[in-house]
Amino acid sequence: MVEELTQLEKIGETIIDYCVQYSFQIIGAVIVLIIGVFLARWISGLIMRLCEKGNLDVTLTKFLGQLTKILILAFVLIAVISKFGISIAPIIAALGAILFGASFAIAGPLSNYGAGLVIILTRPFVVGNTICVKEVSGVVEEIKLAATILSTEDGEQITIPNKHIVGEVLTNSFACRIVEGRVGISYGDDPKKAIETIREVIASFSQIPDDPAPTIGIEEYGDSAVNIGMRYWAPTKEYYKTLYAVNLSIYQKLKAIGITIPFPQHDIHIRSRVEGAAL
């Protein structure tokens, strides 16, 4: 029991000596840390506000703000550690060795971060654009260092690791997607009249942009119909809604002006063979 009390006394004396010896360093370190955190937030917010005033891309704005905050906090931590007389050179060397060894195990995530940095700096697309990569398409909602977040008309969220975007064939249609469709009319109807009617129907939809203008014309001559092709742009968030509404309106309008939309049919000719005739 006496030995235990003696040990506790020694521990208490050690703690008191440490507090007396390093009290000013601890107080200074806490003050520097608090000021550093406040300064990092303030400067980061200032840079983001300046970027927003300069109409800089949202993703690049967030990246510059976060990068500034991290750099300031790193310098603050170095200053705090130096308050206790600790040399940071061995710590940096140890961290470098650890990161070098860990890089082999986390090569995949690191490649995503590298690709994300390339996307942010080169800006092949920005938030709000419609992109298609590796048969996946959607509206860009957020660009992170590790992944890019897309959303679809159905409210689905698609997360694409950035390494699968950089170096791939990328289609950027900005805020809209191209709609390609066709409708068949009878060979006895006037194709010019049908084309003008379809053009008027498409122009009646306010969400369909005029620039680039819709393209409408004879696409091919089918077995049972003259196929009128149409290509126009529709907002990605309303792609199928617009497509279905336009198709219904075209059908009703063509029917109202007497243009026939034929269905596939085949004529079968039956020949009778006279008895005793040569084949």
pLDDT in tens, 157-198: 999 999 999 989 999 999 899 999 999 999 999 999 999 999
- Band (pLDDT 50/70/90 cuts) for residue 5 is low
- Alpha carbon of 268 to those of 114, 115, 265, 271: distances in Å? 65, 62, 10, 10
Q: Alpha-carbon distance 126 to 160, whole Å?
A: 15
Query: 186-233: per-residue pLDDT in tens?
Result: 999 999 999 999 999 999 999 999 988 999 999 999 988 999 999 999
What is the CATH code for 2-105? 1.10.287.1260
Whether the per-residue pLDDT at 277 is higher than 80: the answer is: no
* Domain parsing of the chain, residue ranges: 2-105, 126-174, 176-256
Mean pLDDT of 250-278: 80
Neighbours of 73 (CB within 10 A): 17
Question: What pLDDT sits at residue 63?
Answer: 77
Residue tagged 């077995």 (tokens): 223
CB 64 within 8 A of CB 48: yes
| Closest to 186 (Cα-Cα) out of 142, 224, 242, 236 | 224
Q: Do domains 2-105 and 176-256 have the same CATH topology?
A: no
Segment 250-276 shows an average pLDDT of 82
Distance CA 197, CA 203 (A): 10
Using the predicted structure, report yes or no on whether residue 100 has a pLDDT greater than 70: no
| 125 band by pLDDT with thresholds 50, 70 and 90 | very high
Q: Give whichever of 63-72, 112-121, 154-163 has the largest mean pLDDT.
A: 154-163
> What residues form DSSP beta bridges with 235?
176
CATH ID of 126-174, from 2.30.30.60, 3.40.50.2000, 3.30.70.2860, 1.10.246.90: 2.30.30.60
Nearest to 106 by CA among 163, 59, 68, 62: 163
What pLDDT, on the 0 to 100 scale, is given for residue 233?
96
- pLDDT score of 278 more than 60: no
pLDDT, position 64: 81
- Tell me the pLDDT of the chain averaged across its residues: 84
The predicted pLDDT at position 187 comes to 93
Q: Above pLDDT 90, what percent of the chain?
A: 43
Average pLDDT of the residues in 68-91: 75
Average pLDDT over residues 134-153: 92
At 88, is the pLDDT very low, low, confident or very high (cuts 50, 70, 90)? Answer: low
Mean pLDDT of 41-70: 82
Token pair of 242 as six digits? 């617009």
- How high is the pLDDT of residue 179? 96
Q: Band of the pLDDT at 269, cuts 50, 70, 90?
A: confident
Cα-Cα-Cα-Cα dihedral sign, residues 53, 59, 61, 62: positive
With a cut of 90, say whether residue 12 has pLDDT above it.
Answer: no
For residue 256, pLDDT beyond 70: yes
pTM of the predicted structure, to 2 decimals: 0.66
Which of 19-23, 153-157, 224-228, 273-277 has the weakest average pLDDT? 273-277
Q: Which CATH architecture has domain 176-256?
A: 2-Layer Sandwich (3.30)
